[in-house]
Amino acid sequence: MTDWTTGQRIILHVDFDAFFASVEVHLHPELRGKPVIVGGTSNRGVVSAASYEARKFGVHSAMPMWEARRRCPRGVFLPVNGRAYGEYSARAREILSRFSPRMDPASIDEAYLDVTGSLGLFGGLDGLLARIKSDIREELGITVSIGVAPNRLVAKMASEWDKPNGLSIVRPDELPERLFELPVGAIPGVGGVTQKSLAQMGVRTIGQLARVPKTLLERHFGKHGSYLHRAAQGQDDAPVPYYRPGEDDRKQISREETLAQDTRDLAVLEQRLLALSEEVARKLRARGQHARTVTLKVKLSNFKLFTRSETLATPIDLEDDIFTHAREMLAKVRLGAQAARLIGVGVSNLTDEAVASQLSLFERTDERREHLARARDDIIERFGKGAVTRARLVHEPEVKDTDPESDVTDDDPLQRL
Ligand code: TTP
Ligand code: MG
Ligand code: MG
């Protein structure tokens, strides 16, 4: 790999192939080559992961289990073994962290790496990529697909192009043209709603999107419009943060927002709290974690700050649970003569071990809620936040100062389930 323009970053997006199913195959070698389907075992369960052999039968994640059994009657159907996947995920992150101090595990089976500074140690990009694949294959027995690009956005897109065991490299001089043939839906965060509006403007490919003036996109889509404009040009400046392994007492996830107007209306505050709880819960689940402490934050018109925390006996990761506890604390906040100007919710005391027992609990009682939550995460991941909206959130008050990432402490993302 010789002609990478100097001054450009080299970012990798690494995603494991058929992750849960691949772990099962490694743990049970006799399953290799068979259609392996991991998911909820009850009638109402859904598919979490399907091996590439199972995908030939049309089985895929989020499909109802009964449908998967119908399509693939000779498949090997296995329950979700969260503890095992968490352990593989942690080992994968340890392996990946050898290749750069800048490593950001984005979910249980994927990570971004900025390898700009570490190529020399591995004999260049080709050597480094070969080494990542062979280390993971030898130590975990699983294949990965890698996208390489000058930024995270394009690397993420590229890792999808050649699955399984894929490698797609987009050099700086190939941007943005390399993206132009792709449908706009290939851009992370561009879901059905956005695709429809774009189609009405005659825009179906990224190339067509790239020719739409930025101001027009902004007028149509607001903030999302400027993202669309940059994405169509293959631009993204987001850095890959330094990876900090090990325990860290700053571990927390939180979201807050300043309200468009100060308010004393409990319904408005609860509505925002529910939206924030959903974001926090989604982030928790993406890390494969549960939380034992929920914290509510309310800032008043006079800038006085209230925080309340509650620590629970059982760790949680569902928005309903986070919201329920936050709402109880909100009910106890004395506004006095003041109104609220900012509201936030956070979780801490994050745990990994609880999940194994939680999972068996979910199988019995909460499986449907859990799968629903996962399905929502997946839809949001693929189609953007607009795609899934609770009835309660439809009439959202305008927000003047939302920076969802501002208060996130993304340390120690190397989490076991
Ligand atoms: P993905 O990386 O989206 O999928 P995958 O690794 O199974 O397959 P691919 O080769 O296409 O990357 O998700 C990682 C794991 O997350 C997946 O193995 C199981 C879990 N998951 C669910 O439990 N439910 C879902 O709907 C999805 C999409 C994933
Ligand atoms: Mg994967
Ligand atoms: Mg993934």
- CA dist., res. 302 & res. 308, Å (int): 18
Listed range (45-49, 161-165, 168-172, 404-408) with the worst mean pLDDT: 404-408
The pLDDT value recorded for residue 45 is 84
Comparing CA positions, the residue from 164, 165, 160 lying closest to residue 183 is 160
Q: Does the structure show a pLDDT above 70 at 249?
A: no
Q: How far is ligand 1, taken at its centre, from the CA of residue 84, in Å?
A: 15
Q: Which residues line ligand 1 (CB under 6 A)?
A: 15-20, 48-49, 61-62, 108-109, 163-164, 374, 378
Q: What is the pLDDT of residues 290-328, one digit of tens each?
A: 888 899 999 999 988 888 988 887 788 899 999 999 999
Q: Is 198 helix (H, G, I), strand (E, B) or coil?
A: helix
Mean pLDDT over residues 99-116, rounded? 92
> Residue 109 Cα, ligand 3 centroid: separation in angstroms?
5
What pLDDT, on the 0 to 100 scale, is given for residue 7?
84
Model confidence at 409, pLDDT cuts 50, 70, 90, reads: very low
CATH, domain 19-82, list 3.40.190.10, 3.40.1170.60, 3.30.70.270, 1.20.1250.20: 3.40.1170.60
Instruction: Report which bound ligand comes closest to the CA of 382.
Output: 1
Question: Are 91 and 400 contacting, i.e. CB atoms less than 8 angstroms apart?
Answer: no
Q: Which residues contact 59 (CB under 8 A, 6 or more apart)?
A: 35, 37, 47, 50, 68, 71, 72, 75
Which residues have their alpha-adjacent CB atom under 5 A from ion ligand 3?
15, 109-110
The lowest-confidence range among 49-63, 122-136, 153-167, 309-323 is 309-323
Find the 373 Cα to ligand 1 centroid distance in Å. 14
Residue 403 has pLDDT above 70, yes or no: no
Residue 17 CA: nearest ligand 1 atom is: 10
pLDDT at 361: 43
Alpha-carbon gap, residue 15 to 126, rounded angstroms: 18
Lowest-confidence range among 9-13, 149-153, 201-205, 403-407?
403-407
- Domain spans of the chain, in order of start: 11-17+83-174, 19-82, 182-232, 248-416
E-state strands within 122-251: 144-149, 167-169
Cis peptide before 241 (omega within 30 of 0): no
Percent of the chain scored above 70 by pLDDT? 83
Lowest mean pLDDT among 98-112, 160-174, 356-370: 356-370
Expressed in angstroms and rounded, the spacing between residue 16 Cα and the centre of ligand 3 is 7
Q: CA–CA separation, 157 vs 146, rounded Å?
A: 10
Percent of residues, the chain, with pLDDT higher than 90? 60
Measured between alpha carbons, how far is 323 from 276 in angstroms, rounded to an integer?
8
Atom of ligand 1 minimally distant from the CA of 38: 19
Alpha-carbon distances of 336 from 15, 50, 260, 264, 268, rounded to whole Å: 51, 55, 20, 10, 17
* For ligand 1, atom 22: residue with the closest CA: 48
Of 146-160, 221-235, 370-384, 395-409, highest mean pLDDT: 146-160
The whole-number pLDDT of residue 352 equals: 66
List, edge to edge, every strand of the sheet that includes 47-50: 47-50, 36-39, 76-78
Average pLDDT, the chain: 85
pLDDT at site 163: 96
Mention every residue, 6+ apart, whose C-beta is less than 8 A from residue 325: 294, 310, 312
When pLDDT is averaged across residues 384-410 and rounded to a whole number, the result is 46
Q: How many CB atoms are located within 10 Å of the residue 389 CB?
A: 13
Which residue in the list 110, 257, 367, 370 is annotated as catalytic? 110
Instruction: Tell me, in angstroms, the distance from the centre of ligand 3 to residue 159's CA.
Output: 10
Q: Is it true that 19-82 and 248-416 share their CATH fold?
A: no
CATH class of 11-17+83-174: alpha beta
Q: Residue 262: phi, psi to the nearest 5? A: -60, 140
Residue closest via CA to ligand 1's atom 8 equals: 18
Task: Please state the rounded mean pLDDT for residues 393-413.
Answer: 38
Nearest to 104 by CA among 349, 380, 411, 417: 411
Is-catalytic flag, 110? Answer: yes
* Residue 358: predicted pLDDT: 40
pLDDT tens column, 320-376: 999 999 999 999 998 888 999 999 999 988 876 444 444 444 444 455 666 677 767
Ligand 1 binding pocket mutation candidate from 13, 24, 48 (most atoms within 8 A of CB): 48
Give how far Cα 208 sits from Cα of 177, 180, 201, 276, 406, Å. Answer: 11, 7, 10, 34, 33
Query: Which of 67, 109, 161 for a ligand 1 pocket mutation test, highest count of atoms within 8 Å of Cβ?
Result: 109
For residue 80, the ligand 1 atom closest to its alpha carbon is 23
CA of 110 relative to ligand 3 center, distance in Å: 5
Nearest-5° Cα angle at 139, 136 to 145: 15
Greatest mean pLDDT among 107-111, 170-174, 306-310 = 170-174
> Which pLDDT score, from 0 to 100, does residue 108 have?
85
Side by side, which strands form the sheet with 167-169?
103-107, 110-114, 11-16, 144-149, 167-169
Tell me the ligand closest to 163's alpha carbon.
1
The pLDDT score that the predictor gives to residue 247 is 43
Between CA 91 and CA 386 the distance in angstroms is 34
Nearest atom of ligand 1 to the alpha carbon of 375: 26
Q: How many angstroms is it from 109 CA to the middle of ligand 2?
A: 6
Architecture in CATH for domain 248-416: 2-Layer Sandwich (3.30)
More confident residue, 44 or 11: 11
Average pLDDT over residues 93-118: 92
336 Cβ neighbours under 8 A, 6+ residues apart: none
pLDDT tens for residues 15-41? 999 999 999 999 999 999 999 999 987
Q: What is the pLDDT of residue 25?
A: 98
Q: Options 2.40.128.50, 3.30.450.20, 1.10.150.20, 3.30.420.40; which CATH number does 182-232 get?
A: 1.10.150.20
Residue 390 CB coordination number (10 Å): 12
In the predicted model, what is the mean pLDDT of residues 92-114? 92
- Cα–Cα distance list, 348 to 256, 267, 311, 316, 377 (Å): 15, 26, 9, 11, 20
* ω into 245 cis (within 30 of 0): no
Of 407, 284, 298, the closest CA to residue 349 belongs to 284
Q: What is the mean pLDDT of residues 385-400?
A: 52
Q: What is the mean pLDDT of residues 387-407?
A: 45
Distances in Å between the Cα of 8 and the Cα atoms of 3, 172, 173, 236, 279 are 11, 7, 10, 12, 32
The pLDDT value recorded for residue 312 is 82
Looking at ligand 1, which residue's alpha carbon is closest to its atom 12? 17
User: Quick one: which atom of ligand 1 is closest to the CA of 39?
Assistant: 23
